[in-house]
Every structure is written in structure tokens, then in C-alpha cells.
Amino acid sequence: MKKNISAITILLIFTYCQNTTIDSGSLSGIINENDEKTTIIKKLAQAYQDGNFDLARKYFTDDGVHYFNNIEYSTEEIIEGYNFHSVLYDDLKHIDPIITTMYYNSGEIYTNHWSDWSGKSKITGDVQKNTFHCWWQWEGDKIISTKCYLDPTELMEEIALYQQKMSESK
């Protein structure tokens, strides 16, 4: 009886695999959660949470094009911008991040990073929360472009509070 069950199971698996087609379209490909590029983005995410995004210089091209929502920044500007978050907030966190790298049949490679975010305002002590999505575009072993989308309302309010505090202290 056990041999019959094993034989039927193997036959079902073989039949299922025969019915699976691999999409050869340019926007199809392979997604990977445990490759080197995904690991690098996890390291960069941790560096951001630790308040020092300078590690990005090791992986970003000098002439990279980076976007925060639809605003374009240079590599240096985006690194400075992310480092500025640690001036505004304590306890930066990416909550339950999902980070995977997509190897498209077209040859393009992107690492996607979805997460909730939180940070404690250094001015008010309030904890702010947001959801974001970022992608990181690779060329070889370097990141040539990034794009992050999130609602910037609370961040802009926090920057305004910081600027007000700085002008009052002069």
C-alpha cells in the first residue's frame, strides 16, 4: 500500500511539473530572497536604521539617479537626505520588511523593499509611522538608481519643526 501511495504521489508531482510553463516575456524572470544583492539591501536598511547611511557609498555609483517620490537626487544628496533622518528621529525602524531581488529576462535587476517605518521625533517625542516601497536598480554589482515612495506629510512637518527650532536657537 505504501508503495502505491508513493508511486501516485510521484506521478502527481511529475504531472504537475509537466503542466508548469516558464514565461519567457521580458518582464518575467526569477525572484530571489537569499541572494547577494538582497543581502546588501538588508545591510543598507540596517545602516539607515543605525543612523548612518554612508555605507551606501560602497554600493552606489557616483553618478546614480535617485528619487524620493518623484523628486530627483544625486547619490550624494540621497545619502545626505537619509542620514538627515537620524537628526530628526531616534529609534528608526523598518517593521516587517520584505526584501527580494528580481532578475528579469530582459537582463534588468531590481531589488524591491516594502516595509512599514517608524521613528521617534527628537523634538516632540511622538512616534511617527509610515509605509514605504523602494526599488534599487542594479548594473553589475553597483546600484545605479533608487526610487522610494511614501506619504511625506509627517516628514515635511518634522523638517519644519526642526527648521523652526534651529532658527529660534540662533
The whole-number pLDDT of residue 151 equals 96
User: Rounded CA gap, 29 and 112, in Å?
Assistant: 14
Percent of the chain with pLDDT over 70: 88
Q: Best-predicted range by mean pLDDT among 9-13, 20-24, 165-169?
A: 165-169
The phi, psi pair for 48, rounded to 5°, reads -60, -45
Q: pLDDT tens, 14-68? A: 555 556 677 888 888 999 999 999 999 999 999 999 999 999 999 999 999 999 9
Torsion angle of the four alpha carbons 161, 163, 167, 170, in this order, in degrees rounded to the nearest 10: 110
User: Nearest-CA neighbor of 131 among 114, 119, 146?
Assistant: 114
Predicted TM-score (pTM) of the model is: 0.85
Lowest mean pLDDT: which of 17-31, 71-85, 105-119? 17-31
11: pLDDT strictly greater than 50: no
Q: Which residue carries 523602494 as its cell?
A: 134
Q: Where are the beta strands (DSSP E) in the chain?
A: 29-32, 60-68, 71-74, 89-104, 109-121, 127-139, 142-149
pLDDT of residue 16: 57
The pLDDT assigned to 2 comes to 59
Asked: is 26-168 a CATH 3.10.450.50 domain? The reply is yes
pLDDT tier at 1, thresholds 50, 70, 90: low
Q: Count CB atoms within 10 A of the CB of residue 105.
A: 14
Q: How far is CA 62 from the centre of its chain?
A: 19
Strands of the sheet with 29-32, listed across from one edge:
29-32, 89-104, 109-121, 127-139, 142-149, 60-68, 71-74
**Domain extents in the chain:** 26-168
3-state helix, strand, coil in the chain (%, to 5): 40, 40, 20
Q: What is the overall mean pLDDT for the chain?
A: 91
Q: How many CB atoms lie within 10 A of CB 161?
A: 15
